[in-house]
Every structure is written in C-alpha cells, then in structure tokens.
Structure 1
C-alpha cells in the first residue's frame, strides 16, 4: 500500500490540529485536549492495549475486522489492574488499560497523567456485585459488623482497597477498628492469603470466589451491600494527545462498546473464550462467573459515573491523606458520545444508579 503524503487529507488534518506543516514530526501529530477527535486514522497506527476480556472476544464477534479496516494495529499486553498498568505507563510500554476507577486517581496522585476514555456499568449493580468478601476458614464473619477486630487484606492503590474503606464506612467502622494488612491483589494472592489465614477477610472478584471455594474447605463469603461496578479504560494523556492514536482510540472505543454488548448477548461464548480458555476456569465455573457478574451497560451519560468517582476520590483523600482532586480533569468526555453512538438505543439511561 503506497505511503500517504501531505497534500489533501494529511495537510487538512495538520491544519485542523492547529499545527504548522513545517513543524517537527512530534508537533505534527499533537492534538489539543480541547480539540475534536480526528476521524481519519493514519495507516499503520499502533495502539498498545491491556484489555484482556475484550481481546478475547474480538475475533468471535467479528470486530477485529473493524480495527483492521481502519488501519489500526494493536499490540496486546496481558496487563490488568492498577499497579501493573501504572508501571507500564511509566515505562512507556502501554497506551491504555482496562481497570476500575481507582487507578486513575492513584496515577494522578503519583505523577502519571492519564485520561479515562471509556465507562461501563453493571445493569443491576447491587444484584450483581463485582466483589464479595472472602472469609478465612474457621473465622466467624456473618455480617459487616463482624469485621471489627479482623485482619483485612488491603491494597491502597487498587479498587479492592477503596472497596474496603467503603465497606468499613457502611458498617460504621473506622480503620482503627480493624487491622488492615497491606497486600497487593495480583492473581489469586488474596485467595492464598485467606486460605493460609494470613488475613481473616479479603475482597474477591467472582472468578476468585470460585477458585477459593474449590481450593479451601470451609471457605465462605459475604456480600458487601455496596455498589462496586466501576469499569473504565484509561490511557496515558500523551496517547490521547497524539492525533493518530486519538483517532485510533475513537475507533477502538466504538469497537469496545460493541464487544461488551456482544458479551451480554453471547454469555456462554464469552464464558468459554475468556474465563475458561484465557483464565483457566472450568466450563461450569466460567458460566457461573458470567452469571454472577451480570450484564454490562453502556451509560447514555457519564455524569453519574463522574460523580461517584469524585465521591471516591474525596473518601481516599481523607482516609489515605492524599491531596484533594478534581476528577473532571481525569475524564476525557470527548469519547462519551462515541461510546453512546456505538451503543445506540442500547444505552442505559440514568447509569443504572
């Protein structure tokens, strides 16, 4: 395929970005954060993505073709969660990663500039929570009030850490009423900590609940009773400031929206492709996890998600002694209508609040 030259399309793109044609290559690809997202993806543009659940289904859903047709190359990274993604961002090895809402806050507090470009919600978040509280075998915890005096696994920079603080608040307890055990959640590390009784309680995602119950006789869990369904795609700010990557991300956000809706419509296929084939669960457990997590919704508006993120930031600023943070600076709402347009009539009004 012949290489594109500056006249016509590329020159028009440069002018729209407000960059002089005689500028450097770096300047020629820059995009102001207030500028409209470009529609044209330069051929061969590469996105470096840590988004394993979506990666698993693109081929089966026929959505990989949309990326290829747009001229986008994806370099997939088997990365998820805040600590891994922030480390990869700092090493400039990743453009975007699928996480909950906490990593964007900690990236800001630790000097890594990122933007949220995607929001999704659980259609019925209290009926289908992301986390349950795992209880170590032989430990008596039947309600949130029983958390008093217990050793609880805690990772300050992850969604699990914020969940623990919110659960304590729900129970009328403070950090002084429990023993928080600093422990990063990686893979089934919380499962092992519970099984060996290094901690009494730990927040477990649904897939790890199944692993825990199968591995340790006497394992039990209790519900948190709070909403915990924040789900985002966040990117290095430098990625959304790169005109080529911003154009590619506009396509990817649309494709990712369709992929989540495909997961809703093909739960058995999704269970096999991701939880069974990729995560190693049995067929029965994979199907059970998909059922436990419920359907994902695409919000028509990000207003409620941003409000919840601000509440979480305020809580963490108080409990963990961080600076106050205006979370609107972390959210790139140019991608909000892109997501909504891809979902069409299947958006969730009111953000399932």
Structure 2
C-alpha cells in the first residue's frame, strides 16, 4: 500500500499562519452592536477610525481637538478622500469607515449595493444667501434667471450633488429634462469651469468660491443663483463600521469632536482660511479669505427631521428622473448620533432649520 505523500512543512506552516491571522483579525473587531442599541461610551484602547474628512482634519489639528480624540482613546487614520465616487470606491474596498459628503452619495451607495449610515448633519444658517453652488454661464450665453435654461446645454453628473442640483433647478423652473440638453460630465476639480470656458456647455453648477476665478479667467462669463437650498452636509459611514461596537464608540467621540470643530470654524474664520485653504488647498492668503467670505455660518440642527424630509424629496426626484427604485431614506440615517451632536452643541444648535 502506498503511503499518501505528506504535505510539505512550508505549506503546513503557511496554513497555520493564515489561520492565526484570521483569528487575530476577528479578535481585533469589536462585538456586533445592534443598530437599535445604545452607543457605547467607552472606547477600547487603540480603536481606529479610517476617516475621509479633510476640512475637519485641518480644523481638528489646528484647534487642539486632536488631543481630545486621543484622550478618548480614538486613533484616526485620515484619508485624503471626500465626495461620493471616491468614498464609495473606498468603502467597497474596505479601506474607509466614514467620509464627508453632501446628501447624494448615501442615496447612490444604497442604489448600488453599498450599505451606509449618515451619522452627522449640519446646515447653513442662511442657505439662500450663502449657497454652495451658483450656475455658471458661458461667455456669450444669455441666461439671467433659471427660466432662461430652456434649450441650453447643461453639465450634468448623475451620481453627484451637482447632478441632483440641476434636476431640482429644472423642477423649480417648471422644466423637464426634455426642455434642455444634459451633457454628462463628471465634476472633478475645475472640470465644469473648463467645460464652460471651452463652451462645451452653456451652464454648469460651480462652487460659489470659484465664481471670482471663473469670471476673471473667462471674460463675459456670468452666473445666476439657483434659488434652492444646496447646503446638505453629512458624514456617512459603512453600516458594518457602525455595527462594530468598538468603532461605534469611537465614532460617538468623533461626532462630538466634529461638532466642536464645526463651531470652531465659525468662530475662527481667518485662522480657518489659513489652516485649510492656504495650507491644504494651496491658495494665497487673499484668495483664501475670499473663499471663506462666501461661506455661511454652519450650525448643528436640533433635530434631523427637516434634513431627512429634504433628502426624501431629493431621493424621490432622482428615482423618478433616473429610474431608480424608490428609497425610504429613514433607513439611511442613524439618529442615535443626532443626540450626540445636539448635546455637544448645547445652546448653539439651530432649532428652526427650515424644510
């Protein structure tokens, strides 16, 4: 009888190491936490959060709030990631726990099979006076109000906040997609500004802080106000991270610190211009101040009710216009963190966040 060959020692050792590695990885993960359970108060030592939140990162480090995170036992691995496309890609690769975005990425994550939860909401106190976006108009194109958009070529990115903004503006103007020509473009960097300058499109949403540079670079270019709220600002996280008890505890501490950072930003605008727009974005001191001047006061809402209502309206519009399944957005928010924000902000919460 032939004796079966023995496995090489190296193969046996490799298999054993893999088993140990898998066991260690399992041990390092926190216990499962039901989404209805109270958030833990104690953060196990060495708990790591992988966060894409560049603006808050700069504020936390400049204001000394990073010490508060460290004292709470939270280790933050900062990622230079924000916005929907990059964050969703990082979520799918399990390289990120949370990211700063507007409201649209949470919808598209759900529609494309990535489960996330919104854990932070902020609003602009005077959103129509200080919009995030204006409608840039190419040189030589006549648009003085949104009623003039009929027949125009408009830059459009389906999975980004700018794309939703375009649809909402058309809705407000009483127009449909058939009344305009939507030009599919991904909004990255100054791509929309470049498209306007080259007259590839007639109209495109551009960040309010880009308006001055846009008009200086392209004489004859103009802008018009969209006339709608576009101030949605959230932090969303992988559901699996929120269900990890250790990470949930760390996230509770992070949301509290993030609230303080937001309030610090309001109260230290000149320093904010330096630590973020100059140091991170590379703007001159003059340009950094100009950008900050376009920003309204950010605040924490006492309740997320109105923000959720606005998100539901946007989800319904996108579902109808883009052929998605209807989505109940209440499944995308984790309202346990609503209380963390409000308690941290105290008297500085906004009680009258308009719908």
TM-score by length of 1: 0.91
Correspondence for 2:41: 39
Deviates more, 1:54-63 or 1:321-330: 54-63
Correspondence for 1:348: 350
Compute the displacement of 1:26 (Å).
Answer: 7.2
Within 5 Å, which residues of 2 pair with 1:170-319? Answer: 170-319=172-321
Unaligned stretches of 5+ residues in structure 2: 1-25
TM-score by length of 2: 0.90
> SS where residue 350 of structure 1 aligns?
coil
Contact 2:29–2:246 under 8 Å retained in 1: no
CA distance in structure 1 between the partners assigned to 2:74 and 2:84 by the alignment: 25
CA distance in structure 1 between the partners assigned to 2:211 and 2:243 by the alignment: 40
Contact 1:122–1:352 under 8 Å retained in 2: no
Deviates more, 1:24-33 or 1:137-146: 24-33
Compute the displacement of 1:155 (Å).
Answer: 0.7
Compute the displacement of 1:213 (Å).
Answer: 2.4
CA distance in structure 2 between the partners assigned to 1:37 and 1:174 by the alignment: 44
Correspondence for 2:130: 128
Compute the displacement of 1:284 (Å).
Answer: 2.2
Contact 2:30–2:244 under 8 Å retained in 1: no
Within 5 Å, which residues of 2 pair with 1:12-161? Answer: 25=27, 29-161=31-163
CA distance in structure 1 between the partners assigned to 2:264 and 2:74 by the alignment: 21
CA distance in structure 2 between the partners assigned to 1:70 and 1:192 by the alignment: 45
Compute the displacement of 1:28 (Å).
Answer: 5.4
CA distance in structure 1 between the partners assigned to 2:205 and 2:30 by the alignment: 46
CA distance in structure 2 between the partners assigned to 1:282 and 1:151 by the alignment: 33
Contact 1:50–1:78 under 8 Å retained in 2: yes
RMSD: 1.3
Over residues 127-149 of structure 1, what are the superposed CA-to-partner deviations in whole Å (9 max), with x where a residue is unaligned?
Answer: 11111001111211111111111
CA distance in structure 2 between the partners assigned to 1:260 and 1:79 by the alignment: 18
Contact 1:304–1:350 under 8 Å retained in 2: no
Unaligned stretches of 5+ residues in structure 1: 1-23
Correspondence for 2:333: 331
Contact 1:124–1:352 under 8 Å retained in 2: no
| Structure number with bigger Rg | 2
Correspondence for 2:14: none
Contact 1:123–1:352 under 8 Å retained in 2: no
Over residues 232-290 of structure 1, what are the superposed CA-to-partner deviations in whole Å (9 max), with x where a residue is unaligned?
Answer: 00000011011111000000000000000000001111112112221222322222222
> SS where residue 157 of structure 1 aligns?
coil
- Count of residue pairs brought into register by the alignment: 330
CA distance in structure 1 between the partners assigned to 2:70 and 2:230 by the alignment: 34
